């Protein structure tokens, strides 16, 4: 099979882990054609983003010392992960070239004291650019011919929406398939850096946090891979958080749409757009554990074969959120009220996680992250209190509980089952939302009630039973 394997940051975060991952890849090449995609070493992207903030605050010293830390992490591993003197020399040289460019860029940005979305993407793309060198040369030492390629080198062409770029798939397919097939024919493995590509002018762009998943599926779609495996440090998608429910089970199979819903919650975050490139080509995706390769993980396909009869496949939670309830008689029948409220929050950069409005139109409930709560309430009060809204009520420490599963679609009685099970535990439901896709039924409870409700629902829908 032609497999695209994406590895997360932990698999490159030490010499030992790099050797392990290179060894795993080497073994797999006996049976398959492997195209691996890598994230940056854990924490490096965070540090690079921190550097952009420090530059903006003109904190030159702190920016430089953080850059030094990144340089040290990579040069230390580069000095250890390869023994063969010739290969080691090549790796150290390659690292030096990339690190020099990083330092030049930093120097330039510090001189200007300015960070644009374009320069920021250029800077934060370095995490992956550096990590792939380590893996490619470790593979070379094991006898697997490999070259490091950034997204740009591989041929990923995107729009110029820095920080959240989208691939231009037709052009990308053309370039990527050409580059990669060429290498594969020469029996050279491309070791691809995730997270970034380049726009049509050659400027480096990034896909947003977790974007290496997206790189893997873009590549897979471009070369018509047989499967994509997202390798991380969890076994796969679970029926619920095993920290809350002891008999939480691994989910064997889900559809693309279910996976997209689940990925927003839960332990295994997947980039929200990562499944898109697979859908039209119907390429299956597996979520697997690098440290537990005997476990088959979760399979994501267009039409799952097992568990399809299940109403609900998982109970997910988002803990520690805040609820804002906006009320006012003049909201009734006034077009544009919701738009006004949402655009005020948008201007503050606040992400709305859940909304519900009663048909009387006299109140709108909004869930935001706890960290955003103060800012959200202040901006609503400053702009709207006494105008279209009379009152803003706040409840801190609430949790969203979401049931996900396409089996709920068109089935009567799911909601009654859900709320009866929760009521039996004496848990009060504060807010409810269900999209018309019927794939996701979400409601809000006090955070202190969350565990009891999740346990009750996991039992009610018998998710702990293996199928
Ligand atoms: N390194 C990037 C991030 O942390 C991309 C990724 O890991 O997928 O967001
Ligand atoms: Mg990451």
Atom index in ligand 1 nearest the CA of residue 211 equals 8
The H or E element spanning position 41 is none
CA dist., res. 305 & res. 309, Å (int): 9
How would you class 309 by CB atoms within 10 Å of its CB: exposed for 0-12, middle for 13-18, buried for 19 or more?
exposed
Atom index in ligand 1 nearest the CA of residue 215 equals 8
Atom index in ligand 1 nearest the CA of residue 210 equals 8
Ligand 1 close to Cβ of residue 40 (< 6 A): yes
Look at ligand 1, atom 9, and give the residue with the nearest C-alpha: 209
CA dist., res. 290 & res. 287, Å (int): 10
Considering every ligand atom shown, identify the ligand nearest to the alpha carbon of residue 193 and give its number: 1
User: Can you state the angle between helices 60-80 and 44-56, rounded to 10 degrees?
Assistant: 160
Atom index in ligand 1 nearest the CA of residue 207 equals 5
Contact predicate 451/244, CB 8 Å = yes
Contact predicate 328/381, CB 8 Å = no
Instruction: Please list the residues that pair with 403 across neighbouring strands.
Output: 315, 441
pLDDT given for residue 188 in this prediction = 98
Spacing, Cα 249 to ligand 2 middle (Å): 25
Residue stretches of the chain with pLDDT short of 50: none
Considering every ligand atom shown, identify the ligand nearest to the alpha carbon of residue 230 and give its number: 1
Q: Best substitution site from 8, 44, 128, 209 to test ligand 1's pocket, by max atoms within 8 Å of Cβ? A: 209
pLDDT given for residue 448 in this prediction = 96
pLDDT given for residue 72 in this prediction = 97
Ligand 1 close to Cβ of residue 127 (< 6 A): yes
pLDDT given for residue 234 in this prediction = 86
pLDDT given for residue 434 in this prediction = 85
Ligand 1 close to Cβ of residue 277 (< 6 A): no
pLDDT given for residue 329 in this prediction = 81
């Amino acid at each position: 099979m032609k497999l695209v394997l994406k590895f997360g940051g932990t698999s490159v975060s030490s010499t030992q882990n790099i050797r392990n991952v290179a060894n795993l890849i080497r073994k797999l090449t006996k049976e398959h054609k492997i195209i691996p995609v890598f994230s940056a070493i854990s924490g490096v992207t965070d540090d690079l983003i921190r550097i952009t903030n420090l530059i903006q605050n003109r904190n030159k010293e702190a920016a430089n010392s953080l850059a030094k830390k990144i340089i040290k992490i990579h040069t230390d591993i580069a000095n250890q992960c390869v023994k063969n003197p010739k290969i080691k020399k090549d790796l150290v040289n390659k690292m030096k070239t990339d690190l020099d460019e990083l330092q030049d860029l930093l120097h330039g940005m510090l001189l200007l004291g300015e960070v644009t979305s374009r320069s920021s993407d250029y800077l934060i793309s370095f995490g992956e650019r550096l990590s792939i060198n380590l893996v490619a040369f470790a593979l070379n030492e094991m006898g697997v011919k490999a070259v490091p390629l950034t997204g740009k080198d591989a041929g990923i062409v995107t729009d110029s929406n820095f920080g959240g770029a989208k691939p231009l798939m037709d052009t990308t397919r053309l370039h990527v398939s050409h580059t990669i097939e060429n290498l594969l024919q020469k029996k050279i493995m491309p070791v691809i850096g995730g997270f970034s590509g380049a726009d049509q002018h050659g400027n480096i762009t990034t896909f947003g946090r977790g974007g290496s998943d997206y790189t893997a599926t873009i590549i897979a779609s471009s070369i018509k891979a047989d499967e994509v495996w997202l390798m991380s440090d969890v076994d796969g998608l679970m029926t619920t958080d095993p920290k809350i429910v002891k008999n939480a089970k691994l989910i064997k199979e889900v559809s693309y749409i279910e996976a997209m819903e689940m990925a927003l919650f839960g332990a295994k975050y997947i980039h929200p757009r990562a499944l898109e490139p697979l859908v039209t080509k119907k390429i299956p995706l597996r979520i697997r554990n690098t440290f537990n390769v005997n476990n088959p993980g979760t399979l994501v396909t267009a039409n799952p074969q097992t568990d399809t009869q299940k109403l609900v496949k998982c109970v997910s939670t988002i803990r520690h959120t805040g609820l804002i309830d906006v009320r006012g008689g003049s909201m009734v029948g006034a077009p544009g009220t919701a738009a006004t409220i949402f655009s005020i929050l948008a201007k503050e950069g606040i992400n709305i996680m859940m909304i519900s409005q009663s048909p009387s139109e006299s109140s709108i409930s909004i869930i935001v992250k706890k960290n955003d709560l103060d800012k959200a309430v202040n901006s609503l009060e400053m702009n709207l209190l006494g105008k279209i809204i009379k009152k803003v009520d706040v409840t801190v420490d609430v949790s969203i509980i979401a049931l996900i599963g396409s089996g709920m679609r068109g089935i009567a009685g799911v909601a009654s089952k859900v709320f009866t099970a929760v009521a039996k535990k004496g848990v009060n439901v504060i807010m409810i939302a269900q999209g018309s896709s019927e794939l996701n039924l979400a409601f809000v409870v006090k955070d202190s009630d969350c565990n009891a409700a999740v346990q009750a629902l996991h039992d009610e829908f018998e998710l702990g039973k293996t199928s």
